[in-house]
């Protein structure tokens, strides 16, 4: 089945540690996104990538890093510089449609909950 797979589902970070969240898609989508969601809040864009080997900062990129070496994969690293990393992290992808308008529909993975030990 086509979809977006995020792993792990739950992740715990120790102080000073970098952790990496995985996001893989088999939808042949060009664009991929990372969002952060805090309790009772909307989605805030961390990074996005519209093509392999290229990515742009979103609204809250500080303390995070990404790579896009393959079309299918867009991992997010939460670095030790991110002092308040506890949140629900969502990966999404979009693209590949006969309709230009439908190309902007973002499909989401199941998310990763990150907590600090």
Residues found near another protein in the complex (CB under 8 A)? 35, 41-43, 90, 94, 101-102, 104-111
Nearest approach, Cβ of residue 59 and another protein (Å): 10
Instruction: Give 18 or 86: the residue with its C-beta nearer to another protein.
Output: 86
Nearest approach, Cβ of residue 69 and another protein (Å): 24
Instruction: Give 14 or 101: the residue with its C-beta nearer to another protein.
Output: 101
Instruction: Give 16 or 40: the residue with its C-beta nearer to another protein.
Output: 40
Nearest approach, Cβ of residue 41 and another protein (Å): 7
Nearest approach, Cβ of residue 100 and another protein (Å): 9
Instruction: Give 51 or 102: the residue with its C-beta nearer to another protein.
Output: 102
Q: String of b and e for 1-33 (b: at least 16 CB within 10 Å)?
A: eeebebeeeebebeeeeebebbbbbeeebebbb
**Sign of the four-CA dihedral 83, 88, 89, 95:** negative
The answer to whether residues 4 and 25 touch, using CB atoms and an 8 Å cutoff, is yes
Q: How far, in Å, CA of 72 to CA of 103, rounded?
A: 17
């Amino acid at each position: 089945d086509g979809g977006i797979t995020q792993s792990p589902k739950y992740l715990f970070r120790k102080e000073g540690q970098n952790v990496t969240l995985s996001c893989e898609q088999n939808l042949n989508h060009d664009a991929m996104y990372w969002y952060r969601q805090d309790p009772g809040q909307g989605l805030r864009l961390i990074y996005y990538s519209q093509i392999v080997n290229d990515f742009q900062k979103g609204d809250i990129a500080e303390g995070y890093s990404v790579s896009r070496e393959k079309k299918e994969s867009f991992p997010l690293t939460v670095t030790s510089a991110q002092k308040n990393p506890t949140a629900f992290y969502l990966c999404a992808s979009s693209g590949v449609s006969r309709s230009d308008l439908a190309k902007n529909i973002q499909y989401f993975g199941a998310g990763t909950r990150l907590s600090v030990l």
